[in-house]
Amino acid sequence: MAKGPFNDTVMNHFMNPRNVGEIEDADGVGEAGSPVCGDMMTLYLKIADNKIVDAKFKTFGCGAAIASGSMATEMLKGKTLEEASRMTNRDVLDALGGLPPAKEHCSVLAEDAVRAAIEYYQKKKGS
């Protein structure tokens, strides 16, 4: 097979994405839409003692968005909320070993969804 623009890590997370789905009793839910392409991602967080104990995502997005959601949810597990809110799309890109420049915006979907989910949780808690 000819080598495409995506590296093996990206292909692995695209072909075999981790943490796809919903968390029914999620503590935080965040939705993000890309202004670049109009694709969407929804992220679900389970939070206990200020830590993310589970994370799942769904996306109507491209392969790079699927890989970004998969990697981001893996990275989120075990993080404190403070650590998670500092996570940027750069961190996701680095963990994926990079995306082609035209696809970097897809990782922003993951960052935006994480922020929205944390915000939702904090609002719900009233803090």
Give, as ranges, the residues between 85 and 104 that touch ligand FES (CB under 6 A): 103
Q: How far is CA 63 from CA 27, 35, 41, 86, 106, in A?
A: 27, 17, 12, 24, 9
- Which of 11, 20, 29, 37 does the annotation list as catalytic? 37
- Residue 8: enclosing H or E segment and its boundaries? helix 8-15
Catalytic residue among 106, 113, 114, 118: 106
Choose between 47 and 106: whose C-beta lies nearer to ligand FES.
106
The residue assigned the tokens 């979907």 is: 109
Q: Does 45 bind ligand FES (CB under 6 A)?
A: no
Residues 6+ apart with CB under 8 A from 98: 7
- Pick from 9, 20, 39, 79 the residue near ligand FES by CB under 6 A: 39
Among 26, 76, 84, 106, binds ligand FES (CB under 6 A): 106
Q: Is 65 in the site for ligand FES (CB under 6 A)?
A: yes
- Examine the residue annotation and report whether 62 is marked as an active-site residue of this protein: no
Q: Which amino acid is at 4?
A: G
Residue 106 among the catalytic residues? yes
